[in-house]
Amino acid sequence: MAKKEEKVLGMDREKFRMFMGKYGIGVILLIMMVFISIMEPAFRSGSNMVNVATQVSINAMIAYGMCLAITTEGIDLSVGAQLALVSCILGQLISNKGWGIIPAIVVAILVSTAWGTINGFLISKFNMFPFVVTLSTQLIIRGLAQVVSGGQAIPITDTTFKQIYSAKLGPIPFPILVLILATVLMYLVLHWTKFGRYVFAVGDNMQAAIASGVSIIKTKTATYAISGFLAGIAGVIFTAKTASAQSNIGVGYETDAVAACVLGGTSFAGGVTTVPGVLMGIFIIGFIYNGMNLIGIDSYYQSMTKGAVIIGAVLLDMVMNKKNG
Amino acid sequence: MAEEMKKKEEYVLECHGISKAFGGTQALKDVELLVRAGEVHALLGENGAGKSTLMKCIIGLHQQDEGTIQFEGKPYSVKGPVEALNAGISMIHQELNPEPHLSIAETIFLKREDTRGIFLNKKAQNERAEEILRKFDFPHSAKTLMKELTLAQMQMVEIIKAVSCNARLIIMDEPTSSLDSEETEHLFRTIRDLKSKGVAIIYISHRMEEIFEICDHVSVFRDGTYVGERSMEGVTRDELISMMVGRKVENVFPKTDCEIGDVVFKVEGLSGKGFEDISFEVRKGEILGISGLVGSGRSETMRGIFGMDPITAGQMYLEGKEIKIKKPSQAIKQGICMVNEDRKNFGLALHRSIRENMALPTLPLKQKAPLLNKKQEEKDCLDMGKMLTLKAASIEHEAFSLSGGNQQKVVLAKWLLANPKVLILDEPTRGVDVGAKSEIHSLMCEFAAKGMAVIMISSELPEVMGMSDRILIYHEGKINGEVKREEILSGDENQESILRRAFGGK
Ligand SMILES: Nc1ncnc2c1ncn2[C@@H]1O[C@H](COP(=O)(O)OP(=O)(O)OP(=O)(O)O)[C@@H](O)[C@H]1O
Ligand SMILES: [Mg+2]
């Protein structure tokens, strides 16, 4: 019985699979954009695109940190709480203590980076599960945020601070510049540095990485420190956007970040991710929110759609990249 | 008509015109394989010739692009190993893939569990497993977890599993690659027993002696094509090799004598789990062979030296200075490198590219700038790949897409690139074909000649005897004798005398 490979879209099935494995996420993104454009032409406008890119910049920072953590076979659930802590520190220092913007931002980001480092150290030194560690530190961090803010929202009226979200270089808002910079840096870090190689090696096969002389403690600690640092930047942008420091913000932000990573082909088994993929994942999430708002669909359907799209994308990915044992 | 029927009956398995491609790589091109009932059929070919791929097509892990398979005279097509098993075909895989948290019993009965209603009948299952293990003189109970076993023991479990499910055709893809002579002998007894019961066996191995000992017919593949079939009676080793390689492989053990210099590395009274009071030294330019049964403490000693397991007593000296090694990174920094026998767990990041794998240990050494110098890295990898006759479409491909022997070459490459002072090789040529083996052996001599000290563990006696300047023989965690190259060349020492020491004799 001859088993001829059937053709899909004029390609060999094998070729089609390799193509979708590589570019599948881009194809999904395009289909989505076309679909939303047809439903709502306003979606296509340049100003809306800039709008989406500005909005996703916050999730993007978190997602980049998250993709590092997932690639080392971990996860960072503390990012949402980090956002809140950074926000409260900024509010307290700028509005109540009268600090300058720059020192306040530096301190806030240092704190979030320190928490990331603590996460990484606990995970690597004591070989604890990342899920458990970050689930717990998340509680501590959010508690701290409440302590710092005294449980109340602190408005930040400083106009220069608000500029962080609204200032533009030509037509491009500042958050987009941050997004571009972070994307380029992440790409370099992952694919052009020793550290990036270590992240992949540790995530794919920790034993082999150790036997090759890679330090697990250094690699994982740095990974979570970077995640904390990026969450700090996200916190700054977020606080500038809302112009108010609150301890209850950022709830559920880790979900969107994980979603972007998974959509972008980051494997929970570790060792596999790409920066362009995650970036596209970030935009898919952004378009789901934006597109459905434009079309006028209720927010609970947005959440449902997000869930469905993620499952669909992961299923597709599994079918396309069916591991040849 | 009757004639034709009879001819059909003769073969249990007939594969005709099988082709299979992975993306751009044509792994199999129109190959044949005919296996008679109750025979042991060898499948021979260089690394990457397509042997494992054909076997995976047979048990349904891959689907062939073209071609037909008949089993016991009927058209046969399965979607996966479970279906294949139900049809009567089981397989011992080249790359072991144990679930570390399962017990031996659970591994043996995986996907065919003993159930009572919806509940597992653990007790009965354990009892049955114990019984099977006893038949093989297996040294552990059925409740032992897989992760506590050595590589050789995992391989034995895999063998036991495959032969215990009453298959009528058993595929053995390099079953002995991590076994010692005693365990291999045990496997051969099992094979003869199965044969007498009419079970057919496809036997893949790069060890020619084994093929001559146990097989009836041999089919040879080269570069994914079928070269031919021979009866083992009347065929010579050279003929098979030239069918395989397409040329003659001159010297099997191309040992060159080079000048042996000062002591580079010395250990005194080293003890740890599985070895006790080990003392030896190795000199510049010397190849020190280490022989002994699997589990005699050879690998354990080397893992200890390399910092993978704790050492409880003893000292190590490198170039006269005492050194302490607690983890592999320290060993590598000092210039001591080790090729682990277990390439899957300690050798490769399978989902990363060949390039990334090869470059990993030498990153701190060679990449000083903030950004990687990928040009230089590529050149190093390509050069080393060429030296080791690595067969890969590109160094950007993931390691898992390589054939077993080629994966082994990547592991070797990664450590040869580090150019260490002391190179420890634990089964360096596991699963490597004859031609490439002799290339690797020449490379070992070349590196030794440049002043490296090489320590080589091998379960293949001819390899240790052919390549070493000196051989240490292990028995139950201790060194039980030392043999010099001159003594082998003069005939004072031979295979028997070494084996005798490995079993504890004098
Ligand atoms: N999953 C895969 N993806 C891509 N290429 C593959 C895959 N599996 C095998 N190949 C390619 O197919 C060819 C044949 O590989 P195969 O594993 O069958 O060789 P082999 O004869 O078993 O070699 P060895 O003696 O080294 O085990 C090789 O070139 C290999 O790179
Ligand atoms: Mg193979």
The answer to whether B363 faces chain A, any CB pair under 8 Å, is: yes
Q: Which of B65, B331, B360 sits opposite A5 (nearest CB)?
A: B65
What residue has token string 């996966």?
B80
ipTM of the complex: 0.88
CA distance B68 to chain A (A): 5
Reply yes or no on whether the pLDDT at B490 is more than 70: yes
Residue A119, in any domain of the structure: yes
- Please tell me what DSSP assigns to residue A5: P
d(CA B63, CA B86): 18
Residues B114 and B176 in one domain: yes
Predicted confidence at residue A323, as pLDDT, reads: 41
B38 C-alpha to ligand 2 centroid (Å): 23
Q: What is the pLDDT of residues A115-168, one digit of tens each?
A: 999 999 999 999 999 999 999 999 999 999 999 999 899 999 989 999 999 999
Check: CB of residue B474 under 8 Å from CB of residue B298: yes
Residues B255 and B230 in one domain: no
d(CA A263, CA A251): 21
Question: A265-277 in b/e burial notation, b at 16+ Cβ within 10 A?
Answer: bbbeebbbbbbeb
Which candidate, B475, B484, B483, places its Cα nearest to that of B504? B475
Which candidate, B185, B195, B218, B236, places its Cα nearest to that of B51? B218
Alpha-carbon separation of residue B49 from B26, B30, B487 (angstroms) = 10, 13, 39
Residue A290, in any domain of the structure: no
Q: What is the pLDDT of residues B21-42, one digit of tens each?
A: 987 789 999 999 999 999 999 9
3-state helix, strand, coil in chain B (%, to 5): 40, 25, 35
Which candidate, B338, B276, B274, places its Cα nearest to that of B307? B338
Residues B154 and B256 in one domain: no
- Please tell me what DSSP assigns to residue A42: G
Reply yes or no on whether the pLDDT at B474 is more than 90: yes
How many structural domains compose chain A? 1
Q: Which ligand has an atom closest to residue B23 CA?
A: 1
Residue A31, in any domain of the structure: no
Q: Whose CA is nearest to atom 19 of ligand 1?
A: B48
Residue A126, in any domain of the structure: yes
Q: Which ligand has an atom closest to residue B54 CA?
A: 1
Instruction: Tally DSSP H helices, then E strands, for chain B.
Output: 19, 22
How many CB atoms within 10 Å of residue A215?
A: 16
Q: Which of A1, A198, A207 sits opposite B346 (nearest CB)?
A: A207
d(CA A171, CA A169): 6
Check: CB of residue B267 under 8 Å from CB of residue B282: no
Residue B357, in any domain of the structure: yes
Contact B63 A325 (CB under 8 A): no
Contacts of B312 (CB under 8 A, 6+ apart): B271, B272, B273
Q: Which ligand has an atom closest to residue B430 CA?
A: 1
Q: Is the dihedral of CA B102, B107, B113, B115 positive or negative?
A: negative
Which candidate, B290, B240, B252, places its Cα nearest to that of B440? B252
Residues B375 and B391 in one domain: yes
Which candidate, A123, A121, A115, A117, places its Cα nearest to that of A143? A115
Q: Whose CA is nearest to atom 7 of ligand 1?
A: B401
> What residues of B are in contact with residue A5 (Cβ under 8 Å)?
65
CA distance B351 to chain A (A): 7
Residues B394 and B465 in one domain: no
d(CA A49, CA B478): 72
Residues B393 and B306 in one domain: no
Q: Which two tokens stand for residue A164?
A: 């962080």
Contact A3 B340 (CB under 8 A): no
Q: Which of B361, B381, B414 is the last residue of a domain?
A: B414
Residues B274 and B379 in one domain: no
Confidence at A16, pLDDT banded by 50, 70, 90: low
Say which CATH number the domain at B178 has: 3.40.50.300
Helix axes B404-416, B434-449, angle to 10 degrees: 10
Residues B256 and B389 in one domain: no
Q: Show the 3-state SS of B41-90.
A: EEEECCCCCCHHHHHHHHCCCCCCCEEEEEECCEECCCCCHHHHHHHCEE
How many residues are listed for chain B in this entry? Answer: 506
Region of B234 on the Ramachandran plot (φ > 0 left; ψ -120 to 50 alpha; else beta): left
Residues B217 and B312 in one domain: no
> What residues of B are in contact with residue A212 (Cβ under 8 Å)?
328, 332, 360-361, 414
Residue A28, in any domain of the structure: no
Alpha-carbon separation of residue A47 from A44, A297, B386 (angstroms) = 9, 21, 54
d(CA B322, CA B267): 9
SS3 B116: strand
The answer to whether B402 faces chain A, any CB pair under 8 Å, is: no
Q: What is the mean pLDDT of residues B130-152?
A: 87
Q: Is the dihedral of CA A20, A21, A26, A32 positive or negative?
A: positive
Q: Which of A3, A205, A213 sits opposite B350 (nearest CB)?
A: A205
Predicted confidence at residue B2, as pLDDT, reads: 46
Contact B347 A5 (CB under 8 A): no
Q: Which of B208, B228, B245 is the last residue of a domain?
A: B245
Which candidate, B276, B211, B206, places its Cα nearest to that of B245? B206
Out of B25, B207, B226, mutate this one to test ligand 1's pocket (max ligand atoms within 8 Å of CB): namely B25
Proportion of chain B above pLDDT 70, given as a percent: 96
d(CA B304, CA B299): 8
Report the residue of B74, B363, B368, B410 to disrupt the A interface, i.e. the one with the largest count of A CBs within 10 Å. Answer: B363
Residue B321, in any domain of the structure: yes
Instruction: Specify burial of residue A157 (Cβ count, 10 A radius: 0-12, 13-18, 19+).
Output: exposed
Q: How far apart are the first and last CA of chain B?
A: 65
Check: CB of residue B394 under 8 Å from CB of residue B140: no
d(CA A204, CA A146): 38
> What residues of A are in contact with residue B363 (Cβ under 8 Å)?
194, 197-198
Contact B77 A3 (CB under 8 A): yes
Q: What is the pLDDT of residues B256-271, one digit of tens each?
A: 888 889 999 999 999 9
Q: Which of B63, B371, B374 sits opposite A188 (nearest CB)?
A: B371
- Please tell me what DSSP assigns to residue B227: E
Q: Which of B21, B68, B328 sits opposite A213 (nearest CB)?
A: B328
Confidence at A325, pLDDT banded by 50, 70, 90: very low
Which domain covers residue A137, as residue numbers? 46-250
Atom of ligand 1 nearest to the CA of B46: 25
Residues B64 and B182 in one domain: yes
Which domain covers residue B470, as residue numbers? 250-335+420-506
Report the residue of A212, A267, A324 to disrupt the B interface, i.e. the one with the largest count of B CBs within 10 Å. Answer: A212
Confidence at B218, pLDDT banded by 50, 70, 90: very high
Q: Which of B222, B245, B268 is the last residue of a domain?
A: B245
Q: How far apart are the first and last CA of chain A?
A: 23
Identify the residue with better confidence: B250 or A84: A84
Check: CB of residue A231 under 8 Å from CB of residue A61: yes
Q: What is the mean pLDDT of residues A174-192?
A: 96
Q: Show the 3-state SS of B465-492.
A: HHHCCEEEEEECCEEEEEEEHHHHHCCC
With a 6 Å cutoff on the Cβ, whether B435 touches ligand 1 is no
Predicted confidence at residue A5, as pLDDT, reads: 42
d(CA A209, CA A197): 10
Half-sphere exposure of B342 (CA within 13 A, CB side): 21
Closest Cα in chain A to B326: A213
Confidence at A4, pLDDT banded by 50, 70, 90: very low
Residues B38 and B178 in one domain: yes
Q: What is the mean pLDDT of residues B90-112?
A: 86
Contact A208 B77 (CB under 8 A): no
Residues B428 and B312 in one domain: yes
Residue A63, in any domain of the structure: yes
d(CA B152, CA B387): 29
Residue A220, in any domain of the structure: yes
CA distance A265 to chain B (A): 13
How many structural domains compose chain B? 3
Q: What is the pLDDT of residues B192-211, one digit of tens each?
A: 999 998 999 999 999 988 99
Name residues with Cβ closer than 5 Å to ligand 2, which is an ion: B 52, 94, 403-404
Q: What is the pLDDT of residues B348-405, one digit of tens each?
A: 999 999 999 999 999 998 999 999 999 999 999 999 999 998 999 899 999 999 999 9
Atom of ligand 1 nearest to the CA of B403: 17
